[in-house]
Amino acid sequence: MKYSTNVKQYLRGVRKIQKLNLIRTPRYNYYNHIIAFFLVWYGTSYVKHNFMQSEYEVRKQPNILIPKFVYKVRREHYIYWEISRLARGFPKTFTYSNWDDQAKMMYHVDMDGNMAFEKLNFKEERIDLLDNPLLGPYIRRKDKFVFKNKPDAKNKEVKYSEKMLEEASRIAIYYLNVHKRYDLDNYLHYKPITMMDWVRAAYYGFMTKTHLADRYRNQQFLPKHDFFYNYERRTINLNLQGPDTLKHFQNMISWALFDIKILLKKLENYEETQRLKEEAEAMTSGQEVTNSEQ
């Protein structure tokens, strides 16, 4: 179908106008809404985990995609940081209990760095353990659950099951830390694995496998700056759903005073530097005037 010259020019103009409209009209951008959604979700989850939990209601199980080695190295790093801070005279944050394979007993470290030991002897009866609702069944049925074999005429020595002995020792020492507010395992149970945990695990594995680290000097661990450590202490101490509300407000006031002191110190340093700069500028300007007069 043939068009006249005027019609062709008209159609060309319409096409150009349509192209210009397509170029000028911006496309709807969904990225801002997606980013805002994830920021709100992360912020609410962060506030809930750090400030709105009394006891960890949802106990997350270890991720099957993360090796157990990463969890183990993370816990070892926290214990190393606690020991390091205690050696430098700083306060501890967590209590923890460990099983000693050589001594076959549990030891518990409290907030002051003191150790309490629990080595069970199933040959004798202990009233405190029999009254323990968790450990009592172990003690009452120790012939079935604790011993590997029953003594006979040939072998009168009773052998303990190491696994059951370890479980019983863990239950016995549990009541040394009944409150569990500052228990390290309780804290790490819900804390997600971060990128730095992977870095620490890789560094720990490399230094131990290559024997480059002196374990006596704890060279297989990466240190943690006090700024990040204190920030983690704040998130624990400022828990709104803690058992002691008065202590919570005391922590808030103490941390606020601490921040105010740091701010005042920085302002004093800033004023001092400004005063020194003004004095230096005055001296240089005075020297320039004298030189010009001469």
Residue range 239-293, pLDDT digits in tens: 555 555 566 667 677 777 877 888 888 888 888 888 888 887 777 766 665 666 5
Exposure of 111 by Cβ count < 10 A (0-12 exposed, 13-18 middle, 19+ buried)?
Answer: middle
Question: What's the CA gap between 146 and 130, in Å, rounded?
Answer: 15
Angle at 237 between CA 235 and CA 242, to 5 degrees: 110
pLDDT band at 92 (very low <50, low <70, confident <90, very high): confident
What is the pLDDT at residue 203?
95
pLDDT band at 55 (very low <50, low <70, confident <90, very high): very low
* Confidence check: pLDDT of 168 > 80: no
Q: Nearest Cα to 108, choosing from 117, 274, 80, 236?
A: 117
- The number of beta carbons lying within 10 Å of the beta carbon of residue 255 is 15
Percent of the chain at pLDDT exceeding 90: 11
Structural domain boundaries of the chain? Answer: 5-48
- The torsion angle over the Cα atoms of residues 231, 237, 240 and 244, rounded to 10 degrees, is 180
What is the pLDDT at residue 156?
55
Q: What is the mean pLDDT of the chain?
A: 75
Residue range 25-50, pLDDT digits in tens: 556 667 777 888 888 888 887 776 66
